[in-house]
Chain A
Amino acid sequence: METHGTAPAPSKNEGDALARNSPGALFPVQVALLLALILPLLYLMTIPAHDWSTQLWLGAAVFLIAVILRAAFPGQRWMLLTLISLSIFLTGRYGWWRATQTLGIGDPRIRGYEYPFIFLLFGAELFSWIVTVLGYFQSISPLRRKAEPLTKDPALWPEVDVFITTYNEPLSIVRPTVLGALNLDWPPDKLTVYLLDDGNRPAFREFAEAAGVRYLARPEHRHAKAGNLNYALPRSTGKYIAMFDCDHIPTRSFLQATIGILENNPGYSFVQTPHHFYSPDPYERNLDVFHEIPNEGALFYGVVQDGNDFWDATTFCGSCAVLRRSALEEIGGIAVDTVTEDAHTSLLLHKKGWQSAYLNLPQAAGLATTTLSAHIRQRVRWARGMIQIFRIDNPLLAPGLGLFQRLCYLNGMMHFLFSLPRMIFLLAPLAYLYFGIKIFDADAYSIAAYAFPVLAMALLTNSTLQGNHRHSFWNEVYETTLAPYIFLPTLLALINPKAGSFNVTSKEGVVREEFFDHKIARPFVIFWLLNLGGLVAGVYRLAKGLGEIPTIALTLIWVLHNMLLLGAALAVGWESAQRRNRPRISLNLPARILGPGQKVISGETEDISDLGVRLRLGQGEPLSIGERLLLQIPLFGKIFDFPCLVVGLDEFSVRLNFLPLTLEEERNLVLILYGRADAWVRIRSVNPRDRILSSLGRLTKFAMIGQLRLFRSLFRESPAP
């Protein structure tokens, strides 16, 4: 690969470079004003409180004002910014007080061995403050970019290659993706689909030939997915490359929605679209809240990436994206140094001055991980990869990045260091309850008066910022479930970023019977038992008068909060059954059945999967099980025919299974199922709004369930996963 060390690509104009600079160059007056206002704000943080009641008054007043502002001016950007400012003020004030008053430096009452505990807790808090504030900046102004139109004449549209990577996934998962790629609404002579099979499987080669896509298999398998992609790069020619994981089925409009942005902005190196999952993630499935709470990834693709895009720091996510070949070639192809090649690639592109875009329009959909253990394995890889990048290509030091790009990348990486702080929060109160070790040098009233408003305000602000995309307290649940697993890999990656290999996330699988995943839940059981012990120790302390009552009460509240999170984690560890091989997708389309007697029965589809369809009929029809029919679905001005078999009947609906389909029919089915431009748009907008208290209530319910499940599992032999 040739390297471009000198001049930037000619396509990058000066305006782009200017826009990437810090806003200071653009708005000297406003930025001066901002600084002039931020300084007194910082100053106010350091004003000491007369006593704890004054601090509580101030915190409560700020919170109350925030609640009123939020209720009176919903959806206003200035309201959100005010909330962020207030939250930063309270956090900073708490931080200043913690740092200057509560570390016990020079306090003869603090014993030497207590300092490590005090500083560990302070460090954990410091981390969470930094991540909170960075998160505010990252998502301060989600860009919400729109798709840009292409020129009217398709003859002028550029050539596009579609790369579909696979390694060990079964063909049944890959087939719809390949067919979906073939369905892309693009001039066929300008569209080349490549199936990059790192597994060198003959069945894949045959399928590729039958479907009419190019099949590429490497003789060697270095650098996993990145190597696979890089192998295909010189063996293809399109101006743009659309990349899909083998389970991400694109809609037909994918290219038309994304290429416009790249064509209109020559300085843009890639367009990322969200990863949409049409199956529930382990949280949704095991807690049975599919479509009740936002998907775990909703925050990232709903808010964070849009926020990143504002600062021109969109992260490339490896799939559902279109890249400019020239940009990719300038950085020598996909990055190979880390296990998260995608994020690293975008960092390299940004370092070279390339811009990026995020189009928050689901134009592809895939399968979510099925089990908690699979989910954890995937996150462990991400965490490790991000920490590797942090070590190899630290965004704070990397040349060529703007200030806010650095901060966005920093937050993306720092976020994955949450495991140690999270575990400290889960264990810290126990040091006091078990051993009477002071974990801060302050009275409980002051701690409460400073900390509670901070927590409440952060909840309120985050709920306003990301309410539709992540409900309150769920972040803690996600972190708690990952923390014990992510700790060692991130630590090792911090120490030695070169070690470790790529592992493929399993998206497949059927959980035939519900079971408690003892292995995966073990850390939570241990943490939970420890906290239960803390609860007992606290009550004992209260009864025996060992220690000050407010301090004990405060730590007990903390322990209860921990048990809430751990209870929810336990509940997620209970893998509930997933009986369907292929997820059904709710879809209402007009359809008709042609029976053997050529009788036309009209109806509407209720849900469709790869295997069959459920039709709602206007009235009871004389159909019988085992009957062969022809299902016709009119769509896009055509009528698609599918041979079917009646497998189920009730008064108003009929369940049909597809008979073996031809490749053509299968491709049409994929088009109907996954290919509609609006296939996923509506589903994402139905996320219910966050209500902080009801979210807490729901979490409490899950914690109870989780603890019950734990007890139940003690008396029941669990089947092997």
Chain B
Amino acid sequence: MKNDAVTLSFSAGKKRKRRGHIPALLIFLALSALVRPAFAEAPNAEPLPLVPAVGKPYSGFTKSFTLSELGWEHGVDFSGSSMDRTAFFGVPPSQMVEKGSVTFRYSYLPQKKPVPYPRLEVDVNETLLGTLPGPPAQKGRLPVQSVTFPIPPYLVTPLNSLRIRVAKDPKHPCSTIYAGHFIHIDPATQITLTGIRIHFPSRLSDLPLPFLYHAMTGVRTIPFLIGNSDIKLLEAAGYAASWFGVKSENAPLRFPVSVGIPVDLGSLPTGNLVLLASSPLPPLSSLLPPLAGPTLALVDNPADPYGKILLILGRTPEEVRTAALGLALGQFTPEGPAATLSRVEIPVPTEKNGAPRWIDTQKPVRLAPLASSPGELEVTGTGSIPLRFSLPSDLFFFHTASFPLMLHYRYSTLPGEGRSRLDLLLNKKYQDSIPLPPESGTPADHYRTIPLKLSDLTPFRNVLKLNFNFRSEIPRILSCRASQNTRLRGTILADSSLDLHRIPHFVRLPNLRLVPNGGYPFTRYADLRETAVVLPETPGEGDIRIFLHLMAFLAQETGSPGVDLSVTGPEGVPSVSDRNLILIGTYDSNPLLLRYGKALPQDSQETRSRIRLKSRMEDLLRWSNPPPASYGPEALAAYFKEDRNPLGVMEEDVSPLAPRRVILSLGGVSEQSLVSMDRVLFDPQHFSDIFGQVSLVGPHRIHSFLVPGDRFSLGHLPPLTWLRFWFFSHPLGVLMVLLAISLLLAGILSRILSTLAVRRTGP
């Protein structure tokens, strides 16, 4: 199974050496062979070897990252004179590095003719560690070499950068020494860090530490331990996951789940975990005094003194739910390790499209808050100002061609930099260039309104890049030094803004594209007031895992915890029928998937009849635009025929239970495949493959299809725009109205013309 997370492996050998505990090692080895890790059935669970609670806890650690774990799965080939690559690695605040090193494995690529190689320089946190030595004077395939640079421990911080760059010749900074690939850095290049772990006191105020912290890199794995599969407990777990979503920004998350609390707390997983349980809970009583109500607590992990357990407890499942709400809403006394919540204030319901992370398009959008820091609005020399923003997913992009960017900027340039300009790119698509002619005197304020193409916006995440390009009139090689000149400067002033208020809010649903892009329509109200999750009667760990991940994902999209979400079993659907439903489960465990779904994950008469293949008549009459053939229902049927076995199906349909509501089905072929689906579905690199009404989730890819069926609209359009969109969506309507108009015109005109003819010639 492919491991997509940075591996943290605790080398017992090193610890033994430090502390000299040979018996402890032996016991550890014996136990690790016997005890089945709690999450071993989860194929993507990170190796969290159980550590016995016997003996003295070790406090040393050794960790290593290979380049492939840091994201360079195939290594890097360096070429040219200006290549520059940076990777990041993190160290938790609870670990203190005492010694570190980076071991480069690399090989020189054979060249046709000998040329002087440029040197490669290696930096950690902007400090030069050394340079890679030149190649041996030898022809043909060159062997892999290695070199180790020590990393001074004082350089290591929670977030660290490893930068490899082609060294510039200080005398000729612009000259291109060598253009071809000349060196291959192997992905097995490894960073190794050793040090000691530090025990922190347990304080609720530190949350979300130790689960999440700012400099964390890689997938954030937060294991959940849930007392039983009571629906209230699961709801509580959903709120907690939602809260982690809010706190994690856009970082990748993973929620391994296990249901049931081991009698022996020493057999708990090591590291940090979240535990939800309601009384009676005898094993936990050793950790806490008896409960007086909904309780939140942060305690040491009995199985790992350096790990923490976040306890979300209550005497009844309802109290656990209250405690989770308190956590999600931040309504707990942060001092100390534990807090009992008397009551939780439910905040005023959020507005429609009122998610904190979505920009309000009803008024001009200032650019300043979109930059990650105020300093980012200025560049020195040639440079780029990226502005990231999330739009409500229901913006209606049809027809309107552009929206204005009111730009207020200053720049200072040098005489001779006549080709300088400010380039505008929206989502990497070129929009416009503003020339920056040299000026004399102090930089003047410039105001320009520039239309940006609406078609280049995406439904949710957008990046607007403002690139100040200082270019000399003379060719680039000679001017590259000048382009880095600090006297060249560009500034975007804070009152620059985007105007999107003319763009109406209107979407046609179901549309799966909006699920990874903003979580629409569920996040239309950021507190998930109109959303309910329907889990199987007895949810498995795969079901809960995907549920928690979905909750966290929606919270990441909105920036607000979904505290008004309802969770229910299949029997409870009538009570939430007026909400958008999310059905999770396998086709065996959740009968609603069969009832409301269309695309069952195998080829069958049933599926084919449900997805309603395109009929020739419909194709001929075109009441609506047929889907493109490669994504239509035929393609879906063909996909099944090819006997490819998807892990599961994600599908969105119109809810038959209430008007203008959808049902999102997440059906796995088995509990196991739900776990795999969880990995694929929330991976941003697959987001663009999700669209239409049906997405078949495979082990490595997602195939989406546009399936004819009912649709409804959400939002309002100005009448003329609505009409235009209606005609656009109904070609037959255009034809009918055209015919009616033409016949009427012909009739009237024919009468006028005959009367006129009589007037010309007499009767």
Q: Select from chain B the residue with minimum beta-carbon distance to A88.
A: B742
Interface status of A34 (Cβ within 8 A of chain B): yes
| Interface residue from B625, B744, B756 paired with A310 (Cβ < 8 Å) | B756
User: Which of B114-122, B268-276, B366-374, B733-741 sits within the interface?
Assistant: B733-741
Tell whether, in the assembled complex, residue A81 and residue B728 are in contact, meaning their CB atoms are under 8 Å apart. Answer: no
B724 at the interface (CB under 8 A from A): yes
Contact call B752/A309, Cβ cutoff below 8 A: no
B72 located at the interface, meaning its Cβ lies under 8 Å from any Cβ of chain A in the complex: no
Question: For the complex, is A77 an interface residue (Cβ under 8 Å from B)?
Answer: yes
Binding site secondary structure of chain B: helix
Interface size band for B? 35 or more
What string of 1s and 0s marks CB contacts (under 8 Å) between A32-73 and chain B?
Answer: 011001101100100111110010011001100100000000
Does B751 lie at the interface of the complex (its beta carbon under 8 Å from any beta carbon of A)?
A: yes
The complex places the Cα of A26 from the Cα of B754 at a distance, in Å, of: 13
Confirm or deny: A711 has a beta carbon within 8 angstroms of a beta carbon on chain B.
no
A38 touches B625 (CB 8 A): no
Interface size of A as a range = 35 or more
Neighbouring A residues of B1 by C-beta, 8 Å = none
Q: Give the residues from 709 to 763 in chain B that come closer than 8 angstroms, CB to CB, to chain A.
A: 724, 727-729, 731, 734-735, 737-739, 741-757, 759-761
Tell whether A303 is near chain B: CB-to-CB under 8 Å: no
Asked if A44 meets B737 with Cβ closer than 8 Å, knowing A19-B760, A141-B756, A310-B757, the reply is: yes
**Contact residues in B for A51 (Cβ distance below 8 Å):** 625, 628
| CB atoms of A143 and B757 under 8 A apart | yes
Q: Give the complex CA separation of A37 and B754 in angstroms.
A: 19
Determine whether the beta carbon of A48 is less than 8 Å from that of B728: yes
CB distance from A354 to the nearest CB of B (A): 14
Which chain A residues border B748 with CB–CB below 8 Å? 30, 33-34, 37
When C-beta atoms are compared, the residue in chain B nearest to A108 turns out to be B430
Partner of A19, one of B430, B625, B742, B759: B759
How distant is the Cα of A81 from the Cα of B751 in the complex, in angstroms? 11
A593 to B399, CA, bound (A): 84
CA distance A62 to B737 in the complex (A): 12
A629 to chain B, nearest CB (A): 49
| B461 adjacent to chain A (CB < 8 Å) | no
Give the one of A30, A48, A80, A81 with max B CB within 10 A: A81
Binary contact readout A137-165 vs B (1 if CB under 8 angstroms, 0 otherwise): 00011010110000000000000000000
Interface centre among B738, B748, B752, B755 (most CB of A within 10 A): B738
Nearest opposing residue in chain A for B743, CB measure: A82
A312 within 8 Å of B by Cβ? yes
A47, B724: Cβ atoms closer than 8 Å: yes
A40 & B737 in contact (Cβ 8 Å cutoff): yes
Determine the distance from Cα of A61 to Cα of B744 in the docked complex, in whole angstroms. 19
A85 and B728 form a contact (CB under 8 A): no
- CB contacts (< 8 Å) of A30 on chain B: these are 748, 751-752
Residue A23 interfacial (CB < 8 Å): yes
Is residue A389 contacting chain B, with contact meaning CB distance below 8 A? no
What CA separation (Å) do A50 and B729 show in the bound complex?
7
Which residues of the other chain, A, contact B99 by a CB distance below 8 angstroms?
Answer: none
Residues of chain B lying within 8 A (CB to CB) of residue A23: 752, 756
Q: Is B622 an interface residue (CB 8 A)?
A: yes
Choice from A19, A37, A143, A312 contacting B741 with Cβ under 8 Å: A37
Report the nearest A residue to B729, measured CB to CB: A50
In the complex, how many angstroms separate the beta carbon of A161 from the nearest chain B beta carbon? 27
Q: What CA separation (Å) do A418 and B225 show in the bound complex? A: 83
Residue contact A78 to B728, C-beta cutoff 8 Å:
no
- Which residues of A sit under 8 angstroms from B628, Cβ to Cβ? 51
* A254 at interface by CB-CB < 8 Å: no
A86, CB-defined interface residue at 8 Å: yes
- Please, which residues of chain A bring their CB within 8 A of the CB of B746? 77-82, 84-85
Q: Is the CB of A57 within 8 A of B745?
A: no
- Residue ID in chain A nearest B724 by CB atoms: A47
Contact at B751–A62, with CB atoms within 8 Å? no
A309 proximity list for chain B (CB < 8 A): 760
List residues of chain B with CB within 8 A of the CB of A27. Answer: 752, 755
- Bound Cα distance A48, B737 (Å): 15
Residue-wise, chain A 316-346 has the 8 Å CB interface mask toward B (1 for contact) of 0000000000000000000000000000000
Residue numbers in B under 8 Å from A440 (CB-CB): none
Option from A54, A85, A145 in Cβ contact (under 8 Å) with B731:
A54
Q: A54 touching B625 by the CB < 8 A rule?
A: yes
B749 touches A81 (CB 8 A): yes
Flag whether A89 is at the interface (Cβ < 8 A): yes
Question: Which residues on B are within 8 Å of A, measured CB to CB?
Answer: 399, 430, 622, 625, 628, 724, 727-729, 731, 734-735, 737-739, 741-757, 759-761
A-B CB proximity, top 3 nearest: A81-B746, A85-B742, A50-B625
In the complex, 6 of the A-B residue pairs with CB atoms within 8 angstroms, ordered by the A residue number, are A26-B759, A34-B748, A44-B727, A51-B628, A82-B746, A140-B749
